[in-house]
Amino acid sequence: MGIGRTAKRVGEHLREQTVEAVGELALTALACILLGALIWAAHLSWSASPRLTVAGSVLAGLAFIHGAWTMLRAPSQHPRRRGVAATTTALLALGAGTSLFLAFYATGCDCQGVHSAVPKQQLR
C-alpha cells in the first residue's frame, strides 16, 4: 500500500511540474511574440513618419497620465465625463498590465535578430 501511494504522489508531482514548465514556456513565447510585434510596430511607425510617432507617443503618455489621475481622484459627478475617464483608466491598466507581463516573461527573449538586421556602422 505505501509504495503505490508514494508512486501516485510522485506521478502527480511530475505531472504538476510538467504542466507548470509548459505553461511557463508558453507565456515566455507569447511575451517574446508581443515584444517583437511592439518593436516591429514602432519600427514601421518611425520609418513612416518620425514626427507622428513622437506625437502619438506623447498623446499615449497623456492618456496614461489622465488614466492614472482619474484612478486616484474622487469619482466624477458628471455622467458625460465618465466615458473619457473610463477609457483612459482602461488604457492605463492595459499598458501597466502589458508592461508587467513583459517584465516578468520577456526577460529571456533573445533579441539579437533585431541587431543583426542593422549594419555595424549604425550601431556605433
Domain residue limits at 98: 2-123
What pLDDT score was predicted for residue 34?
A: 84
Q: Cβ(31)–Cβ(102) under 8 Å? A: yes
User: In this structure, what C-alpha cell is assigned to residue 106?
Assistant: 520577456
User: In this structure, what C-alpha cell is assigned to residue 65?
Assistant: 497620465
Contacts for 30 with CB less than 8 Å, ≥ 6 apart = 105
CA 43, CA 67: separation in Å to the nearest integer? Answer: 26
What pLDDT score was predicted for residue 18?
A: 92
Under DSSP, the state recorded for 107 is T
Contacts for 32 with CB less than 8 Å, ≥ 6 apart = 106, 108, 109
pLDDT below 50 — which residues of the chain? 114-120, 122-124
What pLDDT score was predicted for residue 124?
A: 46
How many domains would you assign to the chain? 1
User: What is the torsion angle, in degrees rounded to the nearest 10, for the CA atoms of residue 60, residue 62, residue 66 and residue 69?
Assistant: 120
